[in-house]
Amino acid sequence: MRTGLWLVGGRGSVAVTSTVGALALRAGLAGPTGCVTELPALRTAALPAMADLVFGGHDIATTPLVKKAESLAATGVLPARLVAALAEELGTVEAELRPAPTGGPQAAVVEAIVADLTGFRVRHRLDQVVVVNVSSTEPTPDPHPAHARLSELDTALADGSPLPASSTYAYAAFTAGCSYVDFTPSTGARLPALDELAQRAGLPYAGHDGKTGETLVKSVLAPMFAMRHLRVRSWSGTNLLGGGDGANLAEPAANAAKSASKQRVLGETLGYVPQGNTRIEYVDDIGDFKTAWDLVTFAGFLGTPMRMEFTWHGCDSSLAAPLVLDLARLTAAAHRAGRSGPLTELAFFFKDPLGDVPHALAEQWAMLRAFVRELDREPGSGGSDAVAA
């Protein structure tokens, strides 16, 4: 099942780490650590193989992939030996990266994106294409009447009304017959009009905001407090990060969108919102690495005050990249199995998942396992039914 993976932000750190990682796995130069779909519980022939992934993408940046990969190696994100060994393969991917269409009427931008996606699919004779947004976080847009119904959105676009960039890509992806994943907290397909378009086109979509660090820990710890009937009084955190993502989140509007996404898990899991908030600060010197400090205060039996503190230090791109590959494979398999609309079963991967779903990691894991088992049973999926035949 030849599957295109079209990365919006294809020259960024997460995209390049995903690309190098997939190429290294294909060549047998690295193991699949961090790839959830390579766990025995989720491994199935219904998913496209790593060797079947074909990479392309858009970006406003022009830095060659090899140069970006070398800079990531210099800061410890990628092994330098892999970048050297895969230079030729990265050159092949380079040929499939396009300048992001910008400026001009919104309808023309959509048309240009659709043309690039269609050309990519035809050139490589792809069975499916999954568009994954790994670009910079956008501010949350103001509500617009045209976002409610597809007919109104079509008219608004024809009249030149703007859409958020992430939603423009979702609109173009669905128009081109591609599924869509938003790995960022941006709006993406989370508009009623775009859900209508996806359902009409028979296409699945997933999101939002990949869960890779501090929020991953929250989704494990918050259920612990709830199940032990310990009252969380406050939960505050400070996140320090550098790199392009950190620079983007230094902007107040983008920062607010990200912070809201990170806090949602507490209210959903505990059943109430404790005092405190999450702060995000840009520290250029730490580059693609991030550090989070969290302080939790809670009450025990008879109101006895207690506290917990933890520190998370990780590499953002290395944590995110294998999940991008997982999501592309799962979404492609869902498309092949005839799924359309929001893939709520992929909540395991997101801070702010689609639909009315549990936010505790263990419950999300159970949903994901059931989803993969169902994919495995779909006729023609390449899973157990196909093998038995």
**Res 137: pLDDT:** 85
Distances (CA, A) of 375 to 42, 198, 206: 10, 20, 16
**Res 96: pLDDT:** 98
Q: Is 357 exposed, middle or buried (0-12, 13-18, 19+ CB in 10 A)?
A: middle
- The amino acid present at 304, given as its one-letter code, is T
Q: Is 52 exposed, middle or buried (0-12, 13-18, 19+ CB in 10 A)?
A: middle
Q: Is the predicted pLDDT of residue 384 greater than 60, yes or no? A: no
Q: Is the predicted pLDDT of residue 155 greater than 70, yes or no? A: yes
What's 140's DSSP letter? P
Q: Is the predicted pLDDT of residue 385 greater than 90, yes or no? A: no
CB under 8 Å to 328, separation ≥6 — which residues? 3, 5, 53, 130, 132, 181
What CA–CA distance (Å, rounded) separates 203 from 1? 17
What's 344's DSSP letter? G
Comparison of pLDDT for 245 and 359, the residue scoring more: 359
Mean pLDDT for the stretch of residues 242-262:
62
Burial 113-150, CB ≥16 within 10 A → b, else e: bbebbeebbeebebebbbbbbbbbbbebbeebebbeeb
Q: How confident is the model at residue 388 (pLDDT cuts 50, 70, 90)?
A: very low
Mean pLDDT for the stretch of residues 84-92:
97
Q: Is the predicted pLDDT of residue 258 greater than 60, yes or no? A: no
Mean pLDDT for the stretch of residues 354-359:
94
Of 13-22, 69-78, 98-107, 115-124, the least confident: 98-107
**Res 386: pLDDT:** 34
**Res 220: pLDDT:** 95
Q: Is 46 exposed, middle or buried (0-12, 13-18, 19+ CB in 10 A)?
A: buried
> Which tens digit of pLDDT belongs to each residue from 179-215?
999 999 999 999 999 999 999 999 999 999 999 989 9
Q: Is the predicted pLDDT of residue 161 greater than 90, yes or no? A: no
Q: Are strands 289-299 and 231-241 parallel, antiparallel or unpaired?
A: antiparallel
**Res 167: pLDDT:** 93
Helices (H), 159-228: 165-175, 192-201, 214-227
Mean pLDDT for the stretch of residues 25-46:
96
Q: Is the predicted pLDDT of residue 324 greater than 80, yes or no? A: yes
Question: What percent of the chain is predicted at pLDDT more than 90?
Answer: 76
For CA atoms 59, 61, 65, 68, give the dihedral sign. negative
Helices (H), 78-164: 80-85, 87-94, 106-124, 150-158
Of 44-58, 153-167, 172-186, 258-272, the least confident: 258-272
Comparison of pLDDT for 116 and 281, the residue scoring more: 116
**Res 106: pLDDT:** 85
**Residue of 134, 293, 140, 333 whose CA lies nearest to 213:** 293
**Res 158: pLDDT:** 80
**Res 254: pLDDT:** 54
What CA–CA distance (Å, rounded) separates 64 from 59? 11
> Which tens digit of pLDDT belongs to each residue from 275-323?
998 888 889 888 889 999 999 999 999 999 999 999 999 999 999 999 9
